[in-house]
Amino acid sequence: MALAGLPNNVLITKLEALVNWCRKNSLWPMPFATACCGIELMALGASRYDVARFGAEVFRFSPRQCDLMIVAGRVVMKMMPVLQRIWQQMHEPKWCISMGACASTGGVFDTYSVVQGIDRFIPVDIYVPGCPPRPEQLIQAILDLQAKIEREGTLFGREFDDPRRNLPPWALVEEPGNRPPPLESK
């Protein structure tokens, strides 16, 4: 083997694994904070909870500089086109965290103007329950997302071509027992 002669300070891995490792440890969140969840999001970025420990401390208010959208708070029907436009302006690969009960389900705001879960209109990777969630929960969400990127990420973002990703959320359509097997890990 040609590898036999390598010095000790050289590591061998797949390019994809290296790219995923880089991506997951350098998430750039786009804070779409429309309500009280936004306050917890700010706490997450501040020194006490310090999301910098997980490499996601650079909050940018331009979607073109971000790859992680955190929707924190309720989204009304007038705001939904804005959210979709911001989502489309973000570069691939990109991910979305739906933070809190309102963003995930509409929460207590079951009224004519409030969208009953942003996943009806844009893709969501991680849901965070809570009203509002504590910053620790959001840290867990970021860790879960990192695990997901490491497990499923591909060099050119082809993981999103899997048709199973474009199904509606399980809770809305099927019994948990009928669930197809999870995506194969690499």
Partner 1 sequence: MSSTVRYLQEVFGLLEEYEFRGQRQVVVPREKLFELLKFLKETCGFDMLVDVTCVDYLTYPCPPRWGRFGLVYNLLATETGERLIVRTFCDVETAVVPSVVPLWEAANWLEREVWDMFGIRFEGHPDLRRILLPEEFTDHPLRKDYPLQGKGERHNLPVITRAEG
Where does this chain bind partner 1 (CB under 8 A)?
A: 77-78, 80-81, 84, 87-88, 92, 110-116, 120-123, 160-161, 165-166
Handedness of CA 62, 67, 73, 79 (dihedral sign): positive
Give residue 115's Cα distance to chain centre.
19
CB of 123 to partner 1, least distance (A): 5
Between 78 and 179, name the residue whose CB sits nearer to partner 1.
78
Handedness of CA 37, 42, 45, 46 (dihedral sign): negative
CB of 80 to partner 1, least distance (A): 5
CB of 153 to partner 1, least distance (A): 13
Between 156 and 160, name the residue whose CB sits nearer to partner 1.
160
- SS3 of residue 56 by DSSP: coil
CB of 87 to partner 1, least distance (A): 6
Give the residues across from 32 on adjacent strands. 71
Give the residues across from 72 on adjacent strands. 33, 99
What Å distances lie between residue 114 and 32, 171, 175, CA to CA? 16, 20, 27
